[in-house]
Structures are given as C-alpha cells and as structure tokens.
Structure 1
Amino acid sequence: MKQEIKRHMERMVDDYIYIEDLNAYLKAFIADKEQERGSWSEITVVTHYMLGGQSAHIDRMAAVTECVMLALDIVDDLQDQDHDTKPWMQCPQPVALNAILALLMGAIGELGQLELNPRLLVEMSTMITRSVNGQQKDVTHFVSSVDDYLLMTQEKSGSLFRFACLMGYASLDCTAETIETLHDLADCLGLIHQIENDRKDLVRWDLKNDLLSKKRTLPALYLLSIEDDAFRLFQDYYAGSITVDDLLTQKEQLLHMIHTSGCIEYSQVVQSVCLQKAEALCEQLEAASPWKETFKEITFGSYLSEQFR
C-alpha cells in the first residue's frame, strides 16, 4: 500500500473518530492491513490509469477502497471466528463492530467530499450488497451444487474486484462495453482467488478451516458428489453421522484421502478455465499500456506463472 494512501486512511479516521481509543484501534488495523501482500488500492489506481485517468484525487479514492475492504475483512473474520492474530480479533468485539461502522461511514463521507455522481454511489452500494448476498449464502450453507458455488463466489468475491475497479473508473467517462468487460473480468478474478483459497484451506489444520465448518467449497463438492467408499469418512462428517472429534481422530487418513482423491486437481482445472477466460477478457479490454499489463500482473499474473511451471 502506498504511504500516501495510508495517510489518507488515517486522515479519514482523524476526520470522524475523536474518541482516542477507537481512533488508535483503527490506526492499528490500518497498519496491519498495510503489511498484506498486494493491495486493493493498487487495483483502483492501476484501473484508473489504464483507462486514461489522471485525477489528482485517485489516492483518496484508493483510500476509500482500502477502508471498505478493511471493514469487510473484519466482518468476515468475526463471522468465521478465525485469524486470531489480527488486531480486530484481539480487541473486544464491540470495539471491532464500532470500527466497521466507522470505516464505512468514513468512506461514505469521503466520497461525499469528492462530490461523486450519485449514480455511481448507487452502483457502489449495489456491488457491496451483491457481495453481502454472496456472503450470506456462504455463512448459511446455501451452496449445494457447483453452479451454486460459482454464482456465490462471483457474488461474494467477484463483487469486491468490481468495487476496486469501480473506484478507479468512477471519475471517468467509460463506455458500457468497457465496464461490462471489467465486471466479467472481476468475476473471473473472484473465482480464481477463491478457488485457490478453498484448495489450500482444505488441507490446512493449523487454523479453523472450511472442512471443519462443513463449507461446500469446490473441492468439497467434488468429494461429496462421488459415490466411493474411500470418501465415506468425509461424506459422513458432512451428513452429520460423525462428530468433528471422530473426524480429527482419523486426520491422517482424511488428509491422505484428500490428496489422492483428485479434488485438488479438479479445482485446478476449473481455476485454469477461469484463468483462460480472464486472459481473453483482458486482451479484449481497450486500455493503455503499460497499465493494462500491470493490471494483469497484480490480479492474476502469478497464477499464470504457476500454471506453466
């Protein structure tokens, strides 16, 4: 994250939060966010420049992107009760909830100061609530098929990429075709990243994972769909026939089954299809170099590199 963007985030905190402890908590959350690899604000900035933008306020727009994404990160961790090392998971929960409200209201106030077109505010709200709809499906175990999963992921994760892009082109006069291509590309990016997270999470036991929560991720759906006694342990757990303690006593057997089942390879094939579509959409996008190539690199370039190793 650029230091100028971080400074705008901290300035927004100072503009709206005068209670010292909450102000300090928010700045600690921002400092933690700064350490993450990659940044949503970078997508906003690069989108702006690749579509011909030259706004003096693009860093302020990017700061709004980061504030909204930080608020949504906190919500996600509170819902899943994971990432215990994050500062918002170590503070009292009522404080974390106030921080979410402060970040969202501060972002709205900043957009008001920038005098954005009200139509774009409606579009931003639509994107964020589309993500909330997807998140609701996720936490209520709505997903029961691969089609459900793909739609939920585009809503939950793809909408966040749409939002980061929108903050970059909000002040520009883009064609409807360009915006539609960006939206389709954003949904592909959401799928690429979410499939990667789900694939890794299935075999991770150091933190609360999706398997223990019985989430129907893409690899989990593969394991649930095949009638094979080798997958019975996994399927019995999802069906409620055995407890999590029963499952954990056979952890090594379960991990071996996951690694030899083909579910990881299946997920990689679906991810590969999404990568091919993302490449095609990126090629079709009318955008300036070298920003277009930078956008590709920061959003899905590393996955392409891994694919061709």
Structure 2
Amino acid sequence: MNDCIPLIGQQMHRMVRRFFTAEPLARFAELFIEDKLAETIRFGQLTVIHYRMFGGNGHEVYEAAAAVELFILASDILDDLQDQDAPHKPWMQAPQPIAIHVASALLTLSQQAMLSCATNDEMRLALMEMMNRLLLQSANGQMLDIMNDIVDEHSYLDMVKQKSATLLQLACMAGVMLAGQPWNSIVAEYAIEIGVAAQIQNDLRDLLRWDDKSDFLQRKRTLLTLYLIESESDEDRWIKDYFENRLSIEEVVMKREIFLETCERTGTILYGSVMSRMHYNRFEELVDTIQEIGPWKSTFLHILNQKIA
C-alpha cells in the first residue's frame, strides 16, 4: 500500500493549487503538506484499502484519501497550536494568525476534496453527511480534551472515542462508501476499537517522556495519570499534589527517576498495556467477521500495527 502515498500527496497538492489562489495561502499550505508527507500517511492508506476491500477499483479514491489527510493535517495544526508542544513544526514557526488561517482553510478544502471524489449526487450527499457528522463528533471530543477535566475511565473513553477514534471511522468509512457500500456498523465499531487502542499506546509514550509533551509535567488527565493519582500510598501522594497544583513544576522536575519507578511499581504501565491490548483484541475479533477483508488482512494489519506500535 505504500505505492498509494505519492498519489495521495499529489492530490493534496492539486487541491491546494486549484483552490488556494492567494499566493501566501498556497505557499504556507504547500509547506505544511510537505511536512505531513514526510510522515507515514496512514489515515489515507486506510481509505484506499477499505475502498479496495469493498470492491472499488477507480482512481477517485485518492481524492477521498487526500480529503481525509487534509483534515488530519488541519486537525494536527490546531491541536499543536492549542497544546503549544511541537515547536519544530513549520506551523508553529509561522506567525500564529497565519497558521490558524491555513488550518481553517484546509478544513474547508478537505470537504471540497471529498465532494470532488464522489461519482454521483447520491454518493456525494452520503459522503458529506458522514464526514460532517464524524467531524462534529471529533470537535466535541477535542473540546473535552482541551478542558482536561475527565474524572474516570468512562469519561476518558468517551473523550477518546469522540476525538480520535471518529477520525479512524472517517478514514475507513470514506473508502467503504466510495466503493458504493452503505455505512458498515462492524467497520465503524472496529475503527473505534483500534482508535482507543492506539490512543492508550500514545498515552503510555507521553506518560514516560520528560519534555514539553509529557502528560505528567503538563498535568494532562488521561487513563494512566488518573490511575496514578488514585494511588493511596503516602510515598506517591506528591503526584496527586502536583496534579492539584499544591506542588509546582520546579518542585517535581528533578523527580524523573522516582516517577518512572512509581509508574512501574504501581502497575500503571502494565495497566495501560493491558487496556490497549483488550481493545486491540476486540478489533481483531470484529475484523474476522468481515469476509471482504480476508485477502487484504495482512496488509490492513500492517498499516494499523504501524500506528499503534
């Protein structure tokens, strides 16, 4: 499936050149897209592989994949601007009003790209209804994440399913529907499961790092930091004190080794790994119920395992 990546990139650039007639807008958009293309494009690959799985054989799928990737890029830009934790990214080095404007324009361009890929009005309406509904769900989840006030496992999973997992639903379902198939509830469910599994893996990585993206130093409430906060041990009380602002970052920044030992001793790392694996196992169970996936299963799992590795 790696051979589809250049084709997706070409469509992203083509849409920019067609609709962004203001030279500065096109220039910054092209710069941001190039940074995105340097990464492994997985959301767009999911669109292409689902299109093939469900019988599609045309080239319009690359426009649909570009639509998905344009939205993911816009979302990444806005997320980094909100979190202020990716200073090396070109949109973080651009003046903030420009970065915000380009992200907003890319959101609209992603919808235009999805409209352009449809082969008839009925499909166009179905794709746009699906896309807008999922993007609104993602916006709700993003707001919950920004507020950073989740209190338990249920509220965490609700936030992740809305914010992150719906984007995987969008990627997968765009391919299914472009192939002429209706909304597939099993595909929708396994996209949610793999989205949750991937997010917990991301949270594990961000729990253990000790820089601007550290969930602990940023006092970010995730399934794993909540687990740590709930520790009743006196020796771990400083973690709760830090999250409740009774300790400053200057008072904890030298405690990295103690923190890592605490994550191991309390079973937090094991807990995160088990929770991620549980959702991944459910994903695999669902995949095995769809006959169309059979010939594509190894390729599909390879794409997804890169995402949650």
TM surpasses 0.5: yes
The residue aligned with 1:297 is: 302
Residue-by-residue CA offset, 1:254-281 (whole Å, 9 max, x unaligned)? 2322232210101111111111101101
The offset of 1:230, in angstroms, is 2.5
Among 143, 155, 160, the alignment partner of 2:150 is 143
The residue aligned with 2:256 is: 251
Residue 209 of structure 1 aligns to a residue in which SS?
coil
Query: Quick check: 1:233–1:254 contact (8 Å CA) kept in 2?
Result: no
CA distance in 1, matches of 2:254, 2:113: 52
CA distance in 2, matches of 1:301, 1:280: 19
1:90 aligns with 2:93: yes
TM-score (norm 2): 0.92
Among 28, 31, 36, the alignment partner of 1:28 is 31
Residue-by-residue CA offset, 1:49-105 (whole Å, 9 max, x unaligned)? 011111231111111111011001111111111111111111111111111122122
CA distance in 1, matches of 2:221, 2:138: 18
Task: Decide whether aligned partners of structure 1 residues 77 and 24 sit closer, same or farther in structure 2, where only a CA change above 3 A counts.
Answer: same
CA distance in 1, matches of 2:307, 2:116: 37
1:53 aligns with 2:60: no
Equivalent positions of 1:212-251 (< 5 A) are: 212-251=217-256
Among 163, 180, 199, the alignment partner of 1:173 is 180
1:42 aligns with 2:45: yes
Output the amino acid matched with 1:27.
Answer: E
The residue aligned with 1:62 is: 65
Q: Across the two proteins, how many residue pairs are aligned to each other?
A: 302
The offset of 1:216, in angstroms, is 1.4
The offset of 1:301, in angstroms, is 6.9
The offset of 1:233, in angstroms, is 1.2
The residue aligned with 1:261 is: 266
The offset of 1:11, in angstroms, is 1.0
Query: Quick check: 1:231–1:257 contact (8 Å CA) kept in 2?
Result: yes
> Which 4+ runs in 1 deviate beyond 6 A?
none
Query: Quick check: 2:176–2:182 contact (8 Å CA) kept in 1?
Result: no
CA distance in 1, matches of 2:91, 2:283: 34
The residue aligned with 1:163 is: 170
Q: Which runs of 5+ in 2 are unaligned?
A: none
Query: Quick check: 2:224–2:268 contact (8 Å CA) kept in 1?
Result: yes
1:200 aligns with 2:205: yes
RMSD: 1.8
The offset of 1:133, in angstroms, is 0.8
The residue aligned with 2:128 is: 121
Output the amino acid matched with 1:126.
Answer: R
Query: Quick check: 2:152–2:226 contact (8 Å CA) kept in 1?
Result: yes
Output the amino acid matched with 1:299.
Answer: L
The offset of 1:122, in angstroms, is 1.5
The residue aligned with 1:12 is: 15
Residue-by-residue CA offset, 1:127-163 (whole Å, 9 max, x unaligned)? 1111111111111013100111112111111101001
Query: Quick check: 2:8–2:62 contact (8 Å CA) kept in 1?
Result: yes
CA distance in 2, matches of 1:62, 1:82: 27
1 or 2 for the larger relative contact order (CA 8 Å, sep ≥6)? Answer: 1
Residue-by-residue CA offset, 1:27-57 (whole Å, 9 max, x unaligned)? 1111111111342111110011011111231
1:105 aligns with 2:108: yes
Query: Quick check: 2:206–2:214 contact (8 Å CA) kept in 1?
Result: yes
Output the amino acid matched with 2:146.
Answer: V
CA distance in 2, matches of 1:301, 1:2: 15
Residue 63 of structure 2 aligns to a residue in which SS?
helix
Query: Quick check: 2:141–2:159 contact (8 Å CA) kept in 1?
Result: yes
